[in-house]
Amino acid sequence: MSRLIYVMGASGVGKDSLLRELARRRPDALVAHRYITRASGGAENCIELSREAFHWRREQGLFCLSWSAHGLDYGVGIEIEAWLAAGHTVVLNGSRRALERARRRFGAALMPVLVVADVEVLRRRLIARGRETPAEIEARLARGGGEDALGDIARIDNGGELAHGVKALEAWLDSPHGPDETS
């Protein structure tokens, strides 16, 4: 049974750390990379593209999903559709703003998971990451993540030890319907 575990959450919540550790621990976790129009600094599973290269790939139909956020473009390659068609479970660092498009594209295979953490944890992580000024970080935190608008979506608290968040994510891999659900 193919599934797309669609991991979402605010910047700084630790999605990349969760997915990096999941991929390290679980070779059966097909963690998809994203294409992004900025350098990752090696911290995330992505391929950097210029805006021109990104737009060309999108026009050629090489992304099964794409979105824009904070002045950047993000895309997911069509290879994940081949993985899903082969019956695999794929884990993707998705976007809350692209969730509805993902639902339309992947239907019942999509299993959204929201990663959350306390605002103070987010602030510390964003400062440590060093991509934004303190004013930009505070503006980001003030905007909030819009999690309430997502409704009843499963959540993983990644505000503490990384191992706890990874264990919760592994539960999604190990259950065909997600944790605490029956067939």
Instruction: Render pLDDT for 146-183 as a digit per residue (tens, 0 to 9).
Output: 566 666 788 999 988 999 999 999 988 888 777 764 33
3-174 in CATH: which number? 3.40.50.300
pTM given for the model: 0.85
Domain map of the chain by residue range? 3-174
Q: What are the angstrom distances between the C-alpha of 179 and each of 29, 145, 168, 174, 183? A: 16, 24, 8, 8, 11
Percent of the chain having pLDDT more than 90?
A: 54
- The 8-class DSSP code of residue 132 comes to S
83 pLDDT band, cuts 50/70/90, is very high
CA dist., res. 149 & res. 181, Å (int): 23
Instruction: Render pLDDT for 29-74 as a digit per residue (tens, 0 to 9).
Output: 899 999 999 876 666 678 899 999 999 999 999 999 999 987 899 9
Per-residue pLDDT, 42: 60
Length of the chain equals 183
HSE-CB for 84 with a 13 A CA cutoff: 21
Average pLDDT over residues 95-124: 92
**Helices and strands (H and E) in the chain: how many:** 7, 9
Per-residue pLDDT, 59: 97
Mean model confidence pLDDT for the chain: 87
145 pLDDT band, cuts 50/70/90, is low
Could you tell me which of 114, 115, 111 has the C-alpha nearest to residue 175?
111
Per-residue pLDDT, 38: 80
